[in-house]
Structure 1
């Protein structure tokens, strides 16, 4: 019997440039922290090995410090780590892996597989058929040799590869690094451990993607897990348990505001978020000025609670009501003309989208300035 953790797509060194610098730093650190959590899980579960199916690093050019930190994060598990280069960290002649070797930071229990071949784990009677990527993009199936690879009698045959199972994955990503959908069967594998798809996914009984350990995209494809795999004997069906290790949950909300209760509902959803959430929210529709202000406050309060937040209000029209104008002292005079002009820009179908966005922002800014004045000083 062999029991191992299957993980992939750590992409250590990801920059998260879409977020503010302090948010990006936390998200980048979480990827290392979750590797430590994987090491702790491996030790607690007393597995025989950890298999990492490619894209350990996000870039070949990560700093030496990042390389050292990654290998330091593995120390919690003293058993074998088998690491496979993927498309982001391919085993080039000069690569992140050759730099790691020169830094002498790869512990003896960590095996980086830089060439296709078979790695034996004799203590567990397991043969790992490994297909590292030696270039970022290939149009050949690097697992083809699995079919004819010889392994010792009575050993588990476990494949380890990085790429797209043809005809299975979404969004047209099957164009490079293809893997035959029947490879587990044709190569007589007990289990095929894959990387590249960032959510954990069962392709068939013996073929699985582990997904990234720490969510990094606004896509609901079940990231943030490792797979705990047990093979009782060669030929037996694998037993696979998904184990959550990720710290953060990423959410993408596309909201439409039509009536005041829509704002109230969004405020309630925002209040339910905490420091383990990453949110991207786009708001469309139209709201009265007071409602738009309340929504803006709710978003800024959420920003202080969540780990990271991206907001797009460019599709939200701010349309002051008579009550809004009365509250601001803008029922007549120059200020009323400014408000009317800004409102007209938002309602003009021929207006530049950037002008529409700036008009809504200007109304909110104007309202804030007016509310900061004493009531008797608000101009009419």
Structure 2
């Protein structure tokens, strides 16, 4: 009888991986200092260098942008680095309230995604380091195994401000990102990046949306979640969708024309306006192209009557409401039109589709015979 192959070839290996070997205190402090130095040196150049994740002590500046073959190369981040982020506005189901990302490959990929997305939408991107603070526990007792471990409970607070100019309108954007990096008490590497706070001073969290969307990829993310804030720093007004909202209701309540609401949310809100998500944030107007003087169409209204009542030139009226045809036969009751005395609304979307040019199936024409 054949003895057959060794049983071990077909038996799963249930051995747990060996834990990383703890390095001496002095070496731990040196390596942690290097990691902090690299973060301080390279994070302000994020949009030029990308996220630097390795140290090469043999190089004069110890920065290892493209990982070299040197045996001295050290990684800043753990292979199982974990990033958690809680968006300021909860994402719709099935996404969890707090998003998380684990693994160095996915962490680095997310940084590439954010970097390229921001560079596509913005020019003149720069990162300013506002604050860098190392937090260590206060220990006065003589060194012991316990106090040595406690001394290694070190974290790094990094406060950054991102500045950029939107490529669409030339408006400026500014975001503050406050993050806390934790360091492993065993190996010095960064095992976790705790819930970063991202504050926008010009738009509904463009940077935060880019981060949130990538983190949501493991949860079957829909690309429209990112586009909610893709208008970036040129969005001057926003609105949080409520249950039962329809587009014309939002327009009427917020003095934004039906056309303008559709254009600034192109690819976010569909032409039928049946994909509104309660709790999501939408843009109402762009800087320099935000018409806030509006009128809600009533029964028997005509374009001539409306423009005459507001003493507005007919050409300007049609330029501000390009969804209306020359005969004004697609004007409908409840539609919100722009009544600004100068042309204020944004141009047609890149797709060339004119939103609002068709009377919705549930709407009634302003003139019955139309």
Q: What TM-score comes out, normalization by structure 1 length?
A: 0.28
Q: Which has the higher helix share?
A: 1
